[in-house]
A and B are shown apart, each in its own frame.
Chain A
Amino acid sequence: MTSRDEDGVGAELLDAPDDALTFFALAPPVFDEGVLLKGLFVSHTVDPLFENIPGLRDLYEGVATTYATNYPRSRHATFLMTQWTNAQKEQAFRARHPDRDHQLLLPYGPADLTSEYVFRPDATEPDLDVLVVARDAPEKRLDLVVDAIGIASRRLRARLKVAWLTAGHHSPEGRALAALCDHVGPAEYWTQMPGWYRRAKLLLVAAGDEGKSRAMAEAMACDRPVVCFEDYGQPCRGVSPALPENAGVVAKARDANSLSDALLEALEIRPSLTPRVGWLKASGRRAVIETCYGQSLDARRAFAHAGSVPSVRSVWLDTACWKTHGHGFHDVVHEREGVVSLATGLASVKELVESHRAALVRAGWSG
């Protein structure tokens, strides 16, 4: 069942079939010096997971996401991903749901968990001016993309080299954009997408009312600036900025001329922009985990019992991770050295959780 409430529409599943369950271990549970620190998992199926896996609550705290702009409806999650800090929206949510005041609002979205090891800079010199990563759908406002590229080309008196990553195109504006492009087509996520971002000088986004864009996060993680409208995501993010500091250029007015201005400005000042640094200051897995540890009562208690501050830099945490899982915390968080953090389907999730339970027992946890 897809959830819907006053906050909008999302993909959260409250009674999902077994094969639709997903589980991303953002941070694993660790045990050392007699102290258990529960893990953190992110899912759009938090409630069915807790209901179907006995003992999961002993090992993990849940982080619910809807993959969209609405607040999750999960009743069992410790954290609800809200994408951005938005005091007004939070107050309204609290007023509507007084029975859920124990749940913590986490101002991040799945895009903030983009792998900075997969999406990373390298020495590639861009050979494309503009990259567009968008479905051919009305909300992506491809008509504005087409017009902005056309205006910019005329002002430059040169044709911009454009690539559009999409599964297909059918609309008139889609066909118009394809006609402007040097490349149109899909890209395999892990192996091809990072390379496309690095080949482009910038990412152009014309969408408006969306949650945090995964493509924006991926581009910035690859150290490529983003051009978008200043009101991007406005209803959801409130007064939070559309882009991190020095990560791109925003168009002031929601029209093609303004978007074109921003595009040309970004091309000009590109060497002085620092998108990856800006993104990592505001986002990334470590930032999300750090926020969770700082807010969760269970986590704060565990760190206090271990005589440590609740931080991803905690030496206690890293040592406990080595002793529980045989890997440093950095490698586990970034899924390196063969670390598996993602499971889909009830059987696979149970297997992953059981492997973590067994690791805790080997480290001395008695349950």
Chain B
Amino acid sequence: MRGRYPVDYFHKPDEGPPEKSWAHFDAYTNEYLPDEPDAADKADFHVVLPPLRYGKTFLKGIYLSQGVDALQAQVPQLRDWFTSVAYSMWCSYPWSEQADGYLTLYDHPEREAWFRRTNPTRADKKLIGLHDADWTSEYVMRPQPIPRDLDVLTVARLHDLKNVPLIAKAVREYERLFGQRIVLTVVVGKPFDVNFDGLDDHERGQVRAIEEAVGPLRADRVRFIPLANWSQDLPKLYARARVCVLGSLIEGKNRSLQEAMLCDTPVVCFADYNRHVRGPTPPFPPEAGVLAETFDATSLAHAMRRVHEGRFTPRRAYLEVSGRARMFETLLSAFPHYRDRLVSVSADDPWLDAAMWRCYGRSLHDFIHARPWDLTWARGAAGVTALLQRMRAHLGEEAAS
């Protein structure tokens, strides 16, 4: 993680010019850079496609990571086995020097052209308009047959960036406008007790700002859930919500929006969310939720009301344009290594499926959806080395030679 956090954009819609914003966004990254202590131990490793024997040819795998350079410095054979795709976990283009491709969040030709002009040494990177959030598991985040008993949900760290106090203010505004008291549920993702012990000073400041917005904190206006288990509790919380709200103005591609939609929960965010990051691409499909037109509590309250009174099809709308199968195909299509070797670049391709069965004893569908996940994820150079050994055991030593 390095650079200057663009705090000026947290609470003020980005008026541009875009080039200035892009420069500011790209000045910060959440990557694990190789000269940082423990970077190679922390770096994540998501396998989109494992290395395969495909007919008589060897097909490299594809992995995503926030720490491509750190991993490849420690595990140099990774280059022989995988195509690497870096992501920044932020609205910046990655800084990685070694990655074959970058996840750039959204398709945005103007920003891509600007990036290539201003970064000639990295102009050859494949730029792919997706982010790690697009790889969210649609098997973990899924509809649940439970009643929708949470009025408004937000899944957000208590950080200035997230504008949770503004969402709280919108909940109060909702009551003023529509004569109906609703409760905001905040999933914080960090353990703390009833006295907020466990929070740091910045987070306590956010709690005070929420209190200023809604009055003394009581469970009938704002309810905090400190820590929710990602695979068990969080999908149920999304499924219980009538609407999931994001208060940020800039981010990476926010994961909670994707997770909520996959749980068939409609979403709300500001129309100014990631304005210059995403260009003309909308934050989500219109059938998945409502955009608050202006950056204020009243507009947000109206958007929440429209969701409460409307009918939406979030999961369907989201998966019509996104989801793991589409991301798999987009990533493979980006590189000639796959386009030139595969009969078809498709998540339904029977050739790839047969190769997957032969090499790893599982279907392509199951691998894409990480079922089981033992060959799909690792952390740190040691974890990646162990994962490579397991893959070698499946493929044979000579596969990549």
Contact = CB atoms under 8 A, between A and B. Distances in A.
Interface residues on B, range: 20 to 34
A276 B363 contact: no
Nearest to B347: A313
A277 B143 contact: no
Interface stretch (B99-107, B173-181, B183-191, B354-362): B354-362
Query: Looking at chain A, what size class is its interface with the partner chain?
Result: 20 to 34
Contact of A121 (B316, B320, B348, B358): B358
A152 to B, nearest CB: 26
Interface string A104-123: 00000000000001001111
A311 to B, nearest CB: 11
B218 to A, nearest CB: 34
SS class of chain B's interface: helix, strand, loop or mixed?
A: helix
Interface string A49-62: 00000000000000
Given A223-B354, A281-B350, A313-B348, A362 B139 contact: no
Given A33-B313, A313-B348, A319-B316, A276 B354 contact: yes
Contacts of B143: 319, 322-323
A176 to B, nearest CB: 35
Contacts of A277: 350-351, 354
B350 A123 contact: no
Given A121-B358, A122-B361, A318 B319 contact: yes
A122 B360 CA distance: 8
A330 interface: yes
Contacts of B16: none
A362 B145 contact: yes
A123 B358 contact: yes
Contacts of A323: 143, 145, 264
B359 to A, nearest CB: 7
Contacts of A313: 348
Interface string A304-337: 0000000001011011001100101010000000
Interface in A1-37: 32-33
21 contacts: A120-B357, A121-B357, A122-B357, A122-B358, A123-B359, A123-B361, A223-B357, A274-B351, A274-B354, A276-B357, A277-B354, A280-B353, A281-B350, A316-B316, A319-B313, A322-B264, A323-B145, A323-B264, A326-B144, A326-B145, A328-B142
Interface of B: 138-139, 142-145, 264, 313, 315-316, 319-320, 348, 350-351, 353-354, 357-359, 361, 363, 365, 394
Interface of A: 32-33, 117, 120-123, 223, 274, 276-277, 280-281, 313, 315-316, 318-319, 322-323, 326, 328, 330, 362-363
